[in-house]
Structure 1
Amino acid sequence: MKYKFSFGEQLNMLSPLPMSFLAIVEAGSITGAADALGVAKSAVSQNLKHLEDTLGVKLAIRTTRRFTLTPAGERYYQRCKDIVALSHSARTEMEAYGATPKGPFVITAPHALIAPVVAPALAQMLRRFSSLQPRVIADDARLDLVAGGIDLALTVGDLPDSSLKAQRVGALCDTLCVAPELLETGPSPSAAEFTDWIQQLPYVAHMREPATVTFACDSEIRGDLRFVPNLRGNTVDAVLAMAREGMGVALLPDLAVAEDLAGGRLVRVCSAHNPAPVPIYAVHAYDALVPLSVREAILALRHRLSENGPT
């Protein structure tokens, strides 16, 4: 079966000696290979001899009428074809990266960011690039991108030093909130005794929160608030569910509690408890050649986050 690449293309894939050998086999003769390569017949013949001397094996039996590969020559020929095919495949793949995002794309993010951020961003991408095949991994843990075959991770908070590449794409503002029924029997938030009273309520913490949590509130509440967590969850969704059921006070991202606050299922305890937004980063393991799907995803995530809060 004739190979589909021109010998000019093969010249860029193989060194001169293997390239001459491949040309001879494809053309069926030294004369045909010389014509295809645009060189003298003596040069092709000499290259074949040098190749056999270098390898220490006989690759072909040559007569005036026939050119027959030895078993070693047949194997070497297949390996040369494999090299050309692999080079062509790699080049085609790189061209695809630079043309339009398509094929599998794996992204991971914390549970709380899937619905308000990741899903809308991917939907926006799919409207433009219908051949993209996204796979979403919801996990509050920071996964190993290389071992997991993950193209992009959306992560919240400061990043450890690593070889990964990170771009800040937005920020989260947290809200200290509680189910309104827990406040029904307590004093008014403006009352002096409210600060002491609310600190006695149960506190629902994320697994990453410390053993004691402290919040500096605005003028509505006098002094700092300190809580010792009574309950914990390993995802924001778990903490939100417990807070929604009136199990305690909780610190939750604005993106996660926006609908509950608007619907009255949760209320803010105070409004200026955490003035510093928490950064959100898009992280990947690619070096110089970043796939277009990753670059487009970062843009889509940044745009989505800019619509929902500070960046």
Structure 2
Amino acid sequence: MLSALPLTFVAIVERGSITQAATNLNLAKSAVSQNLKRLEAQLGVKLATRTTRKFNLTPAGERYYARCKEILILSQMASTEMEDFGATPSGPIIITAPHAMIAPVIAPAMKKVMSKFSLLRPTVIADDKRLDLVAGGIDLSITVGPLPDSSLKAQKVGTLRDVLCVCPKLLNSLQGAADTHILEAIQSLPYIAHAREDHVVEHTLLQEHTEKTLRVRFRPTFFSNAIDAMVSFAREGLGVALLPDLAVIDELEKGTLVKVFPDYAVDKEPIYAVHAYDTLPPRSVREIIDAVKAGLKGSPFS
């Protein structure tokens, strides 16, 4: 496996800039830039020319990048082949998934896999962003929503649906509103938005058995970058929030949160298991994918 400096270089090349590589590696931009300088100093060659707008590989950089990719692929193939020869999965494995999926899906899946392969040493990265698997040395990503075109291998493992939720007390404050004005009244409530949402948020909700649609529009009064935090804020009555069904199972069962429009929902989104193995992934990765898929199949929202 490549060391940190070559992996940083691969990330810069594949993301197209130091800034994007820093975002995907969860490092400061200055740290990524310094790593590139250290690598060039170690190798004694210029790998890239960079300006404020462009990052271009030199001929030496192109050759070095190609060799780094070969090493990564060979390393992955070696791990897979040893497991296929009967070796028990062991050692480090890195998985990434959105925050909302850790408790209800990833944790039970890892418990199931670890009971079979106790010598595995997992690292689970909870991140709502899609991280660079190759540059980060990540074995498996569980991700939600349509996938961009790439050379990565993807397998659909389930679906997720966002639910418009609110605490009962806040919803009950609208009891005086006339039925004809209930939509306007709900849209006037405070709204908790994810940091990636805009300052005006629109959602189209679908009533599945009639295919009727309902459009709702909110102006966020509260932003957060973490789903679990949004659940807590909604539970405290700070506003309406659009939350993944997997993240609010307990709250809906307990009644600490309720659906704003029980007969309507946002369209389902696919959940994928994504990896960078060119051929068959290692047995450990396959086992985790199967465990995640089984857990999602057993979800009351599936």
TM-score by length of 1: 0.65
Partner of 1:95 in structure 2? 82
Contact 1:177 1:250 in 2 (8 A): yes
**Within 2, Cα distance between the matches of 1:106 and 1:222?**
41
Task: Report 1:68-79 matches (<5 A).
Answer: none
Q: 1:167 to 1:191 in 2, by over 3 A?
A: same
**Within 1, Cα distance between the matches of 2:79 and 2:144?**
35
- Which consecutive residues of structure 2, in runs of 5 or more, have no partner in the other structure? 1-73
**Within 2, Cα distance between the matches of 1:180 and 1:93?**
51
Alpha-carbon distance, 1:310 to partner: 5.8
Larger deviation, residues 301-310 vs 278-287: 301-310
Alpha-carbon distance, 1:97 to partner: 4.9
Partner of 1:114 in structure 2? 102
Q: 1:91 to 1:300 in 2, by over 3 A?
A: closer
**Within 2, Cα distance between the matches of 1:171 and 1:96?**
30
**Within 1, Cα distance between the matches of 2:282 and 2:181?**
57
The one of 231, 238, 247 aligned to 2:238: 247
**Within 1, Cα distance between the matches of 2:135 and 2:206?**
43
Q: 1:91 to 1:265 in 2, by over 3 A?
A: closer
Alpha-carbon distance, 1:93 to partner: 7.4
Amino acid at match of 1:232: F
Structure 1 residue 212 corresponds to structure 2 residue 201: yes
Contact 1:187 1:193 in 2 (8 A): no
Partner of 2:129 in structure 1? 141
Larger deviation, residues 130-139 vs 296-305: 130-139
Partner of 1:277 in structure 2? 268
**Within 1, Cα distance between the matches of 2:153 and 2:213?**
43
**Within 2, Cα distance between the matches of 1:282 and 1:92?**
19
Q: 1:160 to 1:91 in 2, by over 3 A?
A: closer
Partner of 2:218 in structure 1? 227
**Within 2, Cα distance between the matches of 1:190 and 1:258?**
30
Q: 1:98 to 1:251 in 2, by over 3 A?
A: farther
Contact 1:165 1:283 in 2 (8 A): yes
**Within 2, Cα distance between the matches of 1:118 and 1:131?**
18
Amino acid at match of 1:143: L
Task: Report 1:121-200 matches (<5 A).
Answer: 121-187=109-175, 191-200=179-188
Equivalent position SS for 1:308: coil
Q: 1:123 to 1:192 in 2, by over 3 A?
A: same
Partner of 1:39 in structure 2? none
Q: CA RMSD in A?
A: 2.6
Q: 1:190 to 1:145 in 2, by over 3 A?
A: farther
**Within 1, Cα distance between the matches of 2:83 and 2:152?**
23
Contact 2:234 2:240 in 1 (8 A): yes
Contact 2:205 2:213 in 1 (8 A): no
Contact 2:246 2:301 in 1 (8 A): no
Partner of 1:24 in structure 2? none
Deviation string for 1:192-230 (max 9, x for gaps)?
2211111100111112334321233659x9953221222
**Within 2, Cα distance between the matches of 1:97 and 1:132?**
16
Q: 1:129 to 1:265 in 2, by over 3 A?
A: same
Alpha-carbon distance, 1:130 to partner: 1.6
Q: 1:192 to 1:179 in 2, by over 3 A?
A: same
Alpha-carbon distance, 1:275 to partner: 4.8
How many residues are treated as equivalent by the alignment? 222
Amino acid at match of 1:153: S
Q: 1:301 to 1:189 in 2, by over 3 A?
A: farther
Deviation string for 1:240-293 (max 9, x for gaps)?
121111111001111111111111211110124335211111111110141111
Amino acid at match of 1:297: I
Structure 1 residue 260 corresponds to structure 2 residue 247: no
The one of 277, 280, 291 aligned to 2:282: 291
Deviation string for 1:70-109 (max 9, x for gaps)?
xxxxxxxxxxxxxxxxx9xx96873235423221111011
- Which consecutive residues of structure 1, in runs of 5 or more, have no partner in the other structure? 1-86
